[in-house]
Amino acid sequence: MTQARIRPQRQSITVSEARELVLASAHPLPSETVGLTECPGRVLAEDVAADISIPPADNSAMDGFAVRAADVSEVPAELRVVDDLPAGRESRKPVGAGEAARIMTGAAIPEGADAVVMIEDTEPLAGGVRILATAEPGQHVRRAGSDVSPGTPIASAGDALRPALVGMLAAIGRTAVRVRQRPTVAVLATGDELVEPDRLRDDGRIVSSNSYNLQAALKEIGARPVYLGISPDEPDRIEDRFRQALRCDVVISTGGVSVGDRDWIKQVLAGLGGEMRLWRVRMRPGAPLAFVVAEERPVFGLPGNPVSTLVAFEQFVRPVLLRMMGHRRVFRPVASAILERDYRKPAGRMHFVRVSLSERDGRLHATPTGDQASNILLSMVRADALAIVDAEATRVAAGTPVPVQLILRDDLREDPGF
Ligand code: AMP
Ligand code: MG
């Protein structure tokens, strides 16, 4: 590898410009067929329509008696019981005038009957039943095909496989489904100062926490991390790791994208081919972002400070991965919350402020979780959301509503309040 240092050409761009540029490189991965128990969290790669009716036949919504509504237009009415129908048993005897069949929820309505009277509205008689309440035709009858019938569209490519959809697929008799592949993502830490957590000694070195926060963030969305460990700040060693990393669908490195003496990422990425870009994204935290498409794979050089890494992952890497996985919605939801404290900053960069959220009087309130420096991981640990303060703003007064990007999937309050 050439040893001449390349002077970083830092193009300054906005968050939305950077997001658009990286998303332009994100293409859905090929599809694969997986069994129903493997598919939760994946994204459909096919359209699915029903080819059967559910329910398959008219059936009872209640435990009670299947009757002819005309027989119970005046009550009490005494009917002869001609059959007993638990769920799953097919009826053999039609229900004639003056007759009823004892029926359980889910059992098919016998021929001749057109309504069900629930058991609470009846009294037993020897060999029969006394009906105490009138019934309209169709009462407590679940119609064949009232859920789906042949041709009903159920889901389309791009839909996430949530539990209800997985259940629906099972209900129509599917045992497997076509989904997008999950991307493998190489995670590489760079930095002479870094060690693994089990090598932490009192020698001034620090743990590569990014190795773990990134793997966790990847697992959260169903991507498959491939951890390549820590590389020292030596360009040849870093390049070797990147070449290994290109066996994965996406590559993420952290550290070494600043302008320090040992910041080699830009030079290494330039050597991988493709147009190497180094952006000073107008945001805080998370400013420098190196990006190249090498061998058709997006390769991200994220900054080293843990919160910069995570915020850059949120804004740029996560949407790319979700798009590759076939998701239609690739951004975190954004809500509006009232900022609880004054916030001041210089104009020029968009700030992502780590906040906790609470709900009062039907409104969300956002409270900064502590020191907002990009190396302070604890304030990120405590954050439910990132409050967004516009690049040009210099002050947001307490009490002002701000957009908050929800980075937590959990509900805001544990007590459902109902
Ligand atoms: P760099 O961009 O390499 O100058 O790193 C910026 C800061 O982030 C330095 O204080 C590094 O020690 C720290 N840092 C870099 N990589 C990691 C990592 N993998 N885990 C935790 N901190 C890191
Ligand atoms: Mg470094």
Q: What is the pLDDT of residue 3?
A: 44
Which ligand number lies closest to the CA of residue 232? 2
Structural element, H or E, at residue 67 = strand 64-67
Tokens encoding 406:
């929800």
Residue 248: how many other CB atoms lie within 10 Å: 20
| pTM higher than the cut 0.85 | yes
Pocket lining: 134 vs ligand 1, CB cutoff 6 Å = no
Q: Where are the domains of the chain?
A: 15-29+182-323, 33-54+147-180, 59-142, 334-406
Q: What is the CATH number of domain 33-54+147-180?
A: 3.90.105.10
Give all strands (DSSP E) within 136-249, no chain letters.
141-142, 153-155, 176-180, 184-190, 194-195, 206-207, 224-231
Q: What is the pLDDT of residue 411?
A: 57
Q: Specify the residue with its C-alpha closest to ligand 1, atom 16.
A: 304
Candidate of 192, 210, 241 to mutate for ligand 1, largest count of ligand atoms within 8 Å of Cβ: 210
Q: How far is the CA of 280 from the centre of ligand 2 (A)?
A: 17
User: Which backbone phi and psi does 355 adopt, to 5 degrees?
Assistant: -130, 155
Pocket lining: 255 vs ligand 1, CB cutoff 6 Å = yes
Percent of the chain with pLDDT over 70: 96
**Mean per-residue pLDDT of the chain:** 94
How does pLDDT run across 85-138, given as a tens digit for each residue? 999 888 889 999 999 999 999 999 999 999 999 999 999 999 999 999 999 999
How does pLDDT run across 194-224, given as a tens digit for each residue? 999 999 999 999 999 999 999 999 999 999 9
Q: What is the DSSP letter of 218?
A: H
Q: Point out the ligand 1 atom lying closest to the alpha carbon of residue 303.
A: 2
Which amino acid, 174?
R
Q: Specify the residue with its C-alpha closest to ligand 1, atom 20.
A: 208
How does pLDDT run across 254-297, given as a tens digit for each residue? 999 988 888 899 999 999 888 888 899 999 998 899 999 999 99
Query: Is the model's pLDDT at 7 over the cut of 80?
Result: no
Q: Specify the residue with its C-alpha closest to ligand 1, atom 11.
A: 304
Pocket lining: 189 vs ligand 1, CB cutoff 6 Å = yes
Q: What is the DSSP letter of 163?
A: H
**Pairwise CA distance, residues 219 & 323, whole Å:** 16
User: Which backbone phi and psi does 206 adopt, to 5 degrees?
Assistant: -125, 160
Asked if residue 179 lies in contact with residue 32, where contact means CB atoms within 8 angstroms, the answer is yes
Which ligand number lies closest to the CA of residue 212? 1
How does pLDDT run across 146-196, given as a tens digit for each residue? 999 999 999 999 999 999 999 999 999 999 999 999 999 999 999 999 999
Q: Point out the ligand 1 atom lying closest to the alpha carbon of residue 189.
A: 19
Which ligand number lies closest to the CA of residue 312? 1
Pocket lining: 191 vs ligand 1, CB cutoff 6 Å = yes
Which ligand number lies closest to the CA of residue 287? 1
How does pLDDT run across 300-320, given as a tens digit for each residue? 999 999 999 999 999 999 999
Which CATH superfamily is 15-29+182-323 part of? Answer: MoaB/Mog-like domain (3.40.980.10)
Q: Which residues contact 329 (CB under 8 A, 6 or more apart)?
A: 322
Q: How far is the CA of 189 from the centre of ligand 1 (A)?
A: 9
Asked if residue 309 lies in contact with residue 255, where contact means CB atoms within 8 angstroms, the answer is no
Tokens encoding 98:
């003056």
Asked if residue 66 lies in contact with residue 105, where contact means CB atoms within 8 angstroms, the answer is no
Q: Which fold has domain 59-142?
A: Molybdopterin biosynthesis moeA protein; domain 3 (2.170.190)
Instruction: Work out the end-to-end distance of the chain between its first and last CA atoms, rounded to an integer number of angstroms.
Output: 64
Percent of the chain with pLDDT over 90: 89
Q: How far is the CA of 1 from the centre of ligand 1 (A)?
A: 24
What architecture is the 334-406 domain classified under in CATH?
Beta Barrel (2.40)
Q: How far is the CA of 210 from the centre of ligand 1 (A)?
A: 8
Q: How far is the CA of 303 from the centre of ligand 2 (A)?
A: 9
Pocket lining: 308 vs ligand 1, CB cutoff 6 Å = no
Q: Which residues contact 171 (CB under 8 A, 6 or more apart)?
A: 54, 147
Q: What is the pLDDT of residue 5?
A: 47
Q: Which residues contact 409 (CB under 8 A, 6 or more apart)?
A: none
